[in-house]
């Protein structure tokens, strides 16, 4: 795979299909007279100051001649104040020496520098194979992904898999594990979107007996159970903002602290995460921590939806028939219908339709008509998707209900928060959270009365 460095930037403006972080990173001046100046950090230390001998010379007169130095120490980035007059600060606290991560902002004088990953766009040569383990695809994007997966599987790099629901993100995570040196270790799946908020830390990190009501025995968490193997954090974008620092701490320390404990337990775990959200957009909205995003996206893989690789449908159809009923065939008419279908549920939806078509078969051909009718007519009045797992179908229905209810409620009350909350008989704080969740701003309306009753 090519490692051409000519197009490397501190932060990729557009999301490519595949990217990776190289060792080190890039400092960018984000505030001060030298805003926009950059300095890469690689194998040699770099210095910041107003003196001409510094690697990044700053014109800020409140910066000392040699103010600050950064260097790589193993996997850590160390910032060392060089005895500056005005000091170096992170989050308002002065330091002499500190380890930082991506997204950290360091203040020296009136200047602020921010540390970004050195991201590289990866354009793998398409694999000669049309499968990676149990993942099937002949499309160029898929074969490029197979090359990248073959490359990264043998490493311990953290991988972030992005893609729509039903594109096979968990299957990709499992194949990364199966093709890695950890293949004989455990593969542990944790769905961040299906566990109640108050139980996530206990389930991920474990707890001690008596740590909280109901903790009647010690419990190992999923990270400890994955020791020597891989943990797959599915739907990482659903993790609440207040829980993200705990996960970031585990990723940085490679150690977990059980709920109720004061000691850390070292773990040897590879982390693969997945999301159907645009995490960069979530970071921009302050809904996902920037430093956690960078920590997860060491290798970033974007899985193409089925509609972008329609030429793979005949191959997938044959693959599923061989799995469910190898004695059956597909008529050219049925294959044409399958190719023309939009497949909003992606490969998972195609798999479910093919399974039904095989089960409903009459004679030696699949029964596609009944399978597709069953797919489309489960409960049309409610829009329920039976081709999705129960949790996802329920989540989509609840989200649709909440959005339409809140939109109509706020419109009828002319965006008056207190009046709307009284009619709906819900707490104003909860209503405000729903308004924020669905992008309705009560401040844009008339009569916004958020006073107490």
For residue range 383-401, list pLDDT tens digits in order: 666 666 777 778 778 888 8
Give yes or no for a contact between 89 and 31, defined as CB atoms under 8 angstroms apart: no
Measured CA to CA, the distance from residue 257 to residue 278 in angstroms comes to: 30
DSSP string spanning 43-90?
SS-EEEESSTTSSEE---TTS-TT-EEEEEETTEEEEEE-S-SS-EEE
The arithmetic mean of pLDDT across residues 355-376, rounded, is 83
In 202-358, which ranges are E strands? 206-207, 219-220, 230-234, 255-256, 265-266, 270-275, 299-302
Give yes or no for a contact between 55 and 106, defined as CB atoms under 8 angstroms apart: no
pLDDT digits 0-9 by tens, 6-38: 333 334 445 678 999 998 999 999 999 999 999
Residue 377: is its pLDDT beyond 70? no
Residue 54: is its pLDDT beyond 90? yes
Tell me what the pLDDT averaged over the chain comes to: 88
Lowest-confidence region among 111-120, 251-260, 269-278, 442-451: 442-451
Sign of CA dihedral 128, 232, 23, 64: positive
Query: Half-sphere exposure of residue 383, counting CA atoms within 13 Å on the CB side?
Result: 8
* pLDDT, position 385: 66
Measured CA to CA, the distance from residue 439 to residue 417 in angstroms comes to: 14
Among 145, 182, 292, smallest CA distance to 233 is for: 292
> Cβ neighbours of residue 138 under 8 Å, at least 6 residues apart?
130, 311, 312, 315
Give yes or no for a contact between 106 and 100, defined as CB atoms under 8 angstroms apart: yes
Residue 111: is its pLDDT beyond 60? yes
């Amino acid at each position: 795979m090519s490692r051409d460095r000519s197009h490397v930037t501190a932060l990729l403006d557009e999301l490519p299909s595949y990217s990776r972080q190289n060792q080190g990173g890039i400092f960018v001046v984000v505030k001060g007279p030298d805003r926009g100046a950059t300095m890469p950090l690689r194998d040699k230390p770099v210095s910041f100051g107003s003196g001409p001998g510094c690697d990044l010379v700053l014109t800020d007169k409140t910066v000392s001649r040699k103010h600050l130095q950064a260097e790589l120490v193993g996997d850590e980035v160390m910032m060392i104040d060089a005895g500056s007059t005005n000091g170096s600060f992170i989050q308002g606290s002065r330091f002499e020496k500190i380890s930082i991560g991506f997204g950290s902002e360091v203040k020296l004088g009136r200047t602020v520098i921010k540390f970004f990953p050195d991201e590289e766009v990866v354009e793998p040569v398409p694999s000669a194979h049309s499968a990676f383990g149990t993942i099937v695809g002949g499309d160029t994007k898929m074969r490029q992904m197979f090359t990248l997966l073959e490359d990264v599987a043998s490493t311990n790099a953290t991988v972030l898999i992005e893609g729509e629901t039903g594109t096979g993100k968990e299957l990709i995570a499992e194949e990364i594990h199966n093709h890695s040196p950890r293949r004989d270790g455990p593969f542990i799946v944790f769905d961040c979107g299906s566990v109640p908020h108050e139980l996530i830390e206990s389930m991920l990190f474990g707890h001690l007996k008596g740590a909280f009501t109901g903790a009647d025995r010690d419990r190992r968490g999923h990270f400890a159970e994955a020791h020597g193997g891989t943990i797959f954090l599915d739907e990482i974008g659903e993790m609440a903002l207040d829980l993200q620092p705990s996960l970031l701490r585990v990723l940085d320390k490679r150690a977990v602290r059980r709920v109720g404990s004061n000691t850390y337990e070292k773990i040897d775990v590879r982390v693969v995460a997945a999301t159907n959200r645009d995490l960069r957009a979530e970071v921009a909205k302050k809904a996902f921590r920037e430093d956690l995003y960078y920590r997860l996206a060491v290798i970033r893989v974007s899985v193409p939806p089925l509609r972008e690789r329609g030429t793979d449908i005949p191959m997938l159809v044959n693959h599923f028939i061989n799995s469910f009923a190898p004695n059956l065939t597909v008529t050219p008419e049925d294959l044409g219908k399958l190719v023309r279908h939009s497949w909003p549920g992606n490969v998972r939806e195609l798999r479910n339709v093919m399974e039904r078509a095989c089960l409903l078969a009459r004679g030696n051909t699949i029964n596609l008509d009944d399978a597709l009718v069953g797919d489309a007519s489960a409960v049309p009045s409610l829009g329920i998707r039976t081709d999705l797992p129960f949790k996802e179908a329920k989540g989509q229905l609840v989200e649709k209900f909440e959005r339409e209810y809140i939109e109509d409620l706020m419109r009828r009350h002319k965006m008056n928060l207190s009046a709307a909350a009284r009619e709906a008989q819900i707490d104003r704080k909860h209503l405000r959270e729903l308004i924020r969740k669905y992008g309705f701003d009560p401040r844009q309306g008339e009569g916004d009365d958020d006073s107490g009753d």
